[in-house]
Each structure stands twice: as C-alpha cells, then as structure tokens.
Chain A
Amino acid sequence: MSLHATTSQTVGPYLHIGLTWLIIEDLASARVAGERVSIEGRVIDGDGKPVNDAAVEIWQADSRGRYGTKSFRGFGRSATDANGVFRFRTIKPGSVPGPGGVVQAPHIGVNVFMRGQLKQLVSRIYFPGEPSNAKDPVLSLVPAERRATLIAKEAAGKPGTLGWNVILQGRDETVFFDC
C-alpha cells in the first residue's frame, strides 16, 4: 500500500496554546556528560523585524554522538519572546556517522515553525572552531559563501554562549534545507 503524506499547514499565531506545555530549554541534567553550551538567537523576518511567534525545536546527539539515549533525549523546544529571542542550554554533541561512512561534524538539527509558514523550516547549527566542519558532508553541499549562516558564533560579552540566528530573508539569509 502506498499513501501520500498529509499536507502540512501553518502552526498559526496561537501555537503557544498547543505547544508551550512542552517547552524544553534545558536539555541536559547535571549528570549528563559533555561540554555545556548555551545557544541563543533571534528569528528575524524580511523587514528586519523580530518574529515573536515562532517555535524553534532542536534535535541532537549526546557528547558521544548517540541519539536518544536513556540519560539524554536530545530534544528541545523554545518559543520566541517579544524580541524574537529563543534560547537553549545543552551539551555539545559528538560527531555522528554520515552518508557513505563519512563522519559528520558536531551539529544540531533545527525545525522552525511560525505563522506565515505553511511548513516548517529545516536548518542546522554547527559549532565554531571545529576542524571537522571543513569536511562535513552536509556543509559541503552548501554554497561556500552561505556556510557561515549555519555556524554559531561566540556571543560577544557572554562567555560560554553561542549565537545563532534565523534570518528568514535577505543578504544574510540562513541556509534552509529541503529535508
């Protein structure tokens, strides 16, 4: 039997009613091993205005590159505030296997949902100063001049915090994937 996947529809402006019961901005309890990292960013629309009604979900491996372990599920959900800001506190994931036996650099999968989008945006967060970024099989599919949009940056004046923004349109538009 072959069916067709149900058509996606927007989360709309009232997403908070259905989704905020499961806000998870702290992904790792104290006993989870790994390098602690805070990730903070903004969602910005085509007019340069903050998007205050987005939900950002992340999916990541643990520090050894394993998905969905008993002690670390690896799922997070944040809703943007009035300034379009979302935030997570988590651990840096390890490298995970990629296609054809090539190792993928540490990264976090991202789904972004908002009014004005009929289906979610898919992106990835990579880590700065990571030598394996140079050989990552997914980053290498991205035009070189746009790769930086997928790599988080050390946030100025906030040690231990990485900045990664979702720019919906324009010159610095974030790379989004056809997943």
Chain B
Amino acid sequence: MAEITSYRRPVPGTQPDYLFPPYASTVKRAPTKPLVRLPHTQTELTGPVFGYGEVKRGDHDLTKQHAGDPIGERIILSGRVLDENGRPVPNTLVEIWQANSAGRYPHRVDQHDAPTDPNFTGCGRALTDKRGHYRFVTIKPGEYPWRNHYNAWRPAHVHFSLFGQAFAQRLVTQMYFPGDPLLAEDPMFNCVPDERARNRLISALDWETTIPEVALGYRFDIVLRGPEETPMEGGKGRAR
C-alpha cells in the first residue's frame, strides 16, 4: 500500500465552522483569528492505538453495568467505521455516552427534573473488528431541555468519539434517531448547510441486527477522513 502523505480536506458544507451563533455557546468559545493551515506531517499521520487491555469484555453493553436492568427501550446500536475511500477502519476505539431513557445524565451539571436511573450510567466503549464493525447494547436515550433558546429541546442522541488511525482522523460526533421531529429545530444538528451531511448523522432502523422479542437494531455507519490518493501513472482509473 502506498505511503499516506495527507488526509483529505473536508468537502465544503459538510463540516461545521467554529462560530455558529444559533448554538449560543460558540460565541465566546470560537477562535476569532484566522486558522493556520497545517500541512500533514508524521504528527498528524500517526495516532494512538488502544487494545483489549483497556477495553474490557462487556464494555459494549450499557444495560449490564449495574445490579438491575435500566429502565427504557433496549436497542442494539451497530455499524461500520470506514474511511472516505470506503476502506474499513479496524481495531479502532469507539467511545459512546448518552442520557438515560428519561433524558437525564448522571452528571453534576445536569439539573433537569427527570429521574436518574441507578442501573444506567450511559457510558460504553468498543473496538472495531477487522472489518470495521462495532456493536453496542444500550437503551434509547430520552430527549431533554437545554437553555440555548426559549423552549429548546435536544433530540434524542448518542455521543460518539473515534480515533481512527491518525491524529488527523480524530472525530467526535452525535448520532440521532430516524423520524425525530426535534431534529428540524436543533441548532447542533443543523450546524452544516449540506442536508445530506446532516442526514448521515441519523441512524437507520435495522432489521438485520434487530433481535426478535428482545431489541430493535439501529445502524449508524461512521466515515472518517480518508487518505489522499495519488493516482498511479498508467493505472486502471479513467483519466481525469
């Protein structure tokens, strides 16, 4: 395989800017001076590797972390991690966190008047297999209010954190559920102009991973930046 010399820059409209006033907290936290374009060097082309010493058996099952079962609708959350060239990203760390079924996080900052669940922490992790697959068992998170604007409610979502194989591939995102009417009003979901990019943040109901009489499956494929490919002289590809 050819040596990777850089990762692709984002397609316009598919990644957010730092300043996005509809999401009010960006105003005091977004850089105000121009960013400096960073050439990709060994620092950006390499990244940390994590293993089974850190990710334990059962870390992928958020419903089995306490003595009892959490309240809520049990779901299977799975998908593949690919790069922009369609290649699976194997053995990469996927971290997730989410609210409980009532829309409450067990966190000192969360003062929403909804019950915490002693049987649900809402934190999981997994490593992708050699074909880039990951799988979690969890419960469907609830929607919850926040103070961004009057009567603001976050759509149900699960936070995802991925490392990929290089510093330049690091990605933190959120996964949403199909058919959620709150998506149209959510500033975070609507942070990019490209509608297709937004819709790729929405998981799909998945009969293939649904377990009859146990849990519905939702599929969420994640794409990390892909290496820039240098066309080979005399290669099979059509001339451009």
Q: Which residues of A contact B (CB under 8 A)?
A: 1-19, 21-22, 45-47, 51, 53, 57, 59, 61, 67-68, 73-75, 96-99, 104, 107, 109, 111, 113-122, 124, 137-138, 141-142, 146, 168-170, 173, 175-179
**Contact between A7 and B41, CB atoms less than 8 A apart:** no
Tell me which residues across on chain B come within 8 A of A169, comparing CB atoms: 28-32
Whether B159 is near chain A, meaning CB under 8 Å from some CB there, is: yes
Q: How many residues of B contact A (CB 8 A)?
A: 74
29 A-B pairs with CB atoms under 8 Å apart are A2-B86, A2-B226, A3-B82, A3-B84, A4-B84, A5-B8, A8-B172, A9-B159, A10-B174, A10-B188, A11-B172, A12-B159, A17-B122, A18-B96, A19-B161, A21-B125, A59-B167, A68-B48, A75-B48, A96-B41, A97-B42, A98-B42, A99-B41, A111-B170, A118-B18, A119-B172, A122-B38, A177-B38, A179-B38
Given that A118-B23, A137-B39 are contacting pairs, would A6 and B173 also be in contact in the complex, using a CB cutoff of 8 Å? Answer: yes
State in angstroms the CA–CA spacing of A179 and B44 once bound together.
8
Q: Which residues of B contact A (CB under 8 A)?
A: 8, 10-11, 14-18, 20, 23, 25-33, 35-44, 46-49, 54, 82-86, 95-97, 99, 105-107, 109-110, 121-123, 125, 159, 161, 167-168, 170-174, 188, 191-192, 196-198, 200-201, 222-226
* Main SS class of interface, A: loop
**Contact between A7 and B191, CB atoms less than 8 A apart:** yes
A59 CB, min distance to chain B CBs, angstroms: 5
**Contact between A118 and B26, CB atoms less than 8 A apart:** yes
Tell me which residues across on chain B come within 8 A of A12, comparing CB atoms: 159, 174
Q: Which residue of chain B has its CB nearest to the CB of A114? A: B29
Tell me which residues across on chain B come within 8 A of A111, comparing CB atoms: 167, 170
